[in-house]
Structure 1
Amino acid sequence: MAGYFSVLLVLITLGSGLIWLLDHFMYAPKRKERIALAQGSSETPLAEDVISEIAPEPAIVEGAKSIFPMIAAITIFRSFIFEPFQIPSGSMMPTLLDGDFILVQKFTYGIKDPVWRSQLVEVGEPERGDVTVFKFPLDERIDFIKRIVGLPGDRIVYRNRQLYIQPNCTEGQTQQGNLVCGEYNKIKLDIVNRDEYKQGSMQLVRLTENLPGVGHDILINPQALEQTERYYQQQGTRRDEWVVPEDSYFAMGDNRNNSQDSRMWGFVPKANLVGKAVFIWMSFEFDNGPDSLLPGWVPTGVRFERLGNIQ
């Protein structure tokens, strides 16, 4: 089921629309009859204040008529077209930063009803490299955002901070993009810099990871130990290897040593997909220190250079 806010929007839309319809077909004609009778017995046209006294429109009807068009437009836009999200953590750095406000394209992976989230229309499937918002499989009240690196049937290995992919190929297929079928393809990494980001006192290495058709930057902490003991153990595979089930996806954060993702809890079911993150429409800095008079949630600056499409 969708979140409380989505359900509330739908209920307000349905409630205000129903009140408007009932009034339009049942009560408004009766008010018009009373006004017509009063007008017929008067020699001069009735003033507006007199009409409102003869056949007053109930406040609930007036309110429903005023909010229905606006709330219906918001519900349609948010449920089927775009939904805004705020990035609350650094698990997708450097692609997305804490304080980024993004738009998620809802119809990319199909049109779903806004309450029960059942599929209404099939539109498309996630592609490798998509930055995707989904309902956290272990608690669907929580929205997660990660990058899709494994498609159904793929074999994924993450070992020594290096990603390997054996793609799920059809019979007779020898290559999928730049991935060779039947082989564990080592995903190429190119160093960008070593001094742009820190985790505590440790420098993070920024690299470009070249997924098929998608080049994107990731962060690696070369001093951090791989926490393989926390990895999700899939039956029949090694600790750091996973086979993506049908109608599921393997998702990882770009901040590889600071991300709770499919390595720790498993796969993202297709039914949990919310949409594709496509645009940063605002980005705030929150640098209020412990000695600041302002609370931590008050922005200290705007990062205009970050606004634009998400890669």
Structure 2
Amino acid sequence: MNFALILFVLVVITGVAWVADKLVFERQRRSSARLALAEFDSRQADLQGRFGAAEADATRKRLAEEKLRQPWWLEYSASFFPVILAVFVLRSFVVEPFKIPSGSMIPTLLIGDFILVNKYEYGIRLPVVNKKVMDMGEPQRGDVMVFRYPKDPSLDYIKRVIGVPGDVVQYANKRLTINGKPAEYAALPDFLDEERLAYSRHFREKLPGSVDHGILNDADRPAFIAGADPDFPYRENCTYNQQGVTCKVPAGHYFVMGDNRDNSLDSRFWGFVPDENIVGKAFVIWMNLGNFGRVGTFK
């Protein structure tokens, strides 16, 4: 059971309690309070004579509060409904937080980065079922996208969009070509991966028609794709050889890759991301407990 479904169930349960309280239980408490106060007021003269006016008024106030107080189970359910509903709406339609669990997007995103994902950039989708109900835009080459892993939709993955529907993507000898146009590369100083305690070759890559971003390559890793799934949908659109892979992206699908090119399981291995699996566009690092300097937008 994923978190979105858990949150939805909590919204339903607390919402039912909140509505029931407003329509039924609150009226019952008010009626009970009126009867109790009417009985108290009928004996007010006697009580004031025995305890004094101030004590009688305090007793009346405590009686009213006791009769109007929600039972504990209703207080904890109905009172949390507005908060849970606000979180559910915000998380489902505006932004959703994620934590980066792996190094597949190094150097752009590091393990431990907390990011925010725009949930409406690629269209409004119903929560839980993830069905698009309103088009707002489509993923573009170079976007950092969160999606449900096609082989196990209970898992959320994050990769960079390399090919959009209709593109011919070639990854050969660790270089990309999109629709016959090679990506541009500029060498940067080697990157130290502190998790692996190893240096990787660092490049600035610019996809055709897209912004530039950093990528890593390991000199000791081969260019060919080992261990690709032989049965992913539209597998016939891809051709593998010793230099790498060439794929034509089918309609309604996307070709994605990690920026840590030799340490990322992505579309080269398990195929294309269907549109219905898209979660949203990552746009900011909002926290990294080990490095506050990473807080802010990323490229």
Fold similarity call, TM over 0.5: yes
Q: 1:224 aligns with which of 221, 226, 234?
A: 221
State the distance in 1 between where 2:200 and 2:132 align. Answer: 41
List aligned pairs for 1:105-120, cutoff 5 A: 105-120=118-133
Select which of 217, 229, 249 maps to 1:244: 249
Offset at 1:54? 4.1
Q: Point out 4+ residue stretches in structure 1 off by more than 6 angstroms.
A: none
Q: Indicate the SS of the match to 1:37.
A: helix
Q: 1:281 aligns with which of 276, 280, 286?
A: 286
Q: Determine whether 1:131 maps to 2:144.
A: yes
Kindly state the Cα deviation for residue 12 of structure 1 after the two structures are TM-superposed: 1.0
Within a 5 Å distance, the mapping from 1:42-53 to structure 2 comes to 42=41, 43=44, 47-53=60-66
Secondary structure class of the residue paired with 1:35: helix
Name 1:292's counterpart in structure 2: none
Residue 5 of structure 2, aligned match among 1, 4, 7: 7
User: For residues 110 and 29 of structure 1, what CA distance do their matches in structure 2 show?
Assistant: 42
Please give the secondary structure, in 2, of the residue aligned with 1:257: helix
RMSD: 2.1
Q: 1:66 to 1:48 in 2, by over 3 A?
A: farther
1:166-213 per-residue CA deviation (whole Å, 9 max, x = no partner) reads 0xxxxxxxxxxxxxxxxx001010001125448967631110101223
Unaligned runs of at least 5 residues, structure 2: 45-55
Pair 156,199 (structure 1): closer, same or farther in 2 beyond 3 Å:
farther
2:239 partner letter: R
Amino acid at match of 1:69: P
Match of 2:25 in 1: 27
Say yes or no: does 1:37 pair with 2:35.
yes
Residues 202 and 223, structure 1, Cα contact 8 Å, conserved in 2: no
Aligned to 1:264: 269
Q: CA deviation at 1:161?
A: 0.6
Q: Determine which of 126, 131, 134 is the counterpart of 1:121.
A: 134
Matched, 1:213 2:210: yes
1:18 aligns to 2:16 (yes or no): yes
Change (3 A) 1:60 1:238: same
Aligned counterpart in structure 1 of residue 200 of structure 2, from 204, 218, 241: 204
Q: Which residue of 1 aligns with 2:190?
A: 194
Could you say which structure has the larger radius of gyration?
2
Deviations 1:132-162 (A, max 9, x none): 0100001111111000010000001000011
Identity of aligned residues (%): 37
Tell me which residue corresponds to 1:157: 170
CA distance in 2, matches of 1:188, 1:27: 67
* Deviation for aligned residue 1:112: 1.6
| Structure 2: distance between partners of 1:113 and 1:189 | 39
- In the TM superposition, 1:168-183 aligns within 5 A as none
Equivalent-residue separation in structure 1 for 2:287 and 2:16 (angstroms): 36
- Structure 1: segments with no counterpart, 5+ residues: 167-183, 285-301
- Cα distance change on mapping 1:199 and 1:280 into 2, 3 Å: closer
Structure 1 residue identity aligned to 2:2: Y
Q: Judging changes above 3 Å, is the alpha-carbon distance between structure 1 residues 309 and 15 closer, same or farther for their aligned structure 2 residues? A: same
| Secondary structure, aligned partner of 1:77 | helix
SS at match of 1:219: strand
Query: Equivalent residue for 1:103?
Result: 116
1:243 to partner: Cα distance? 0.5
Give TM-score scaled by structure 2 length. 0.85
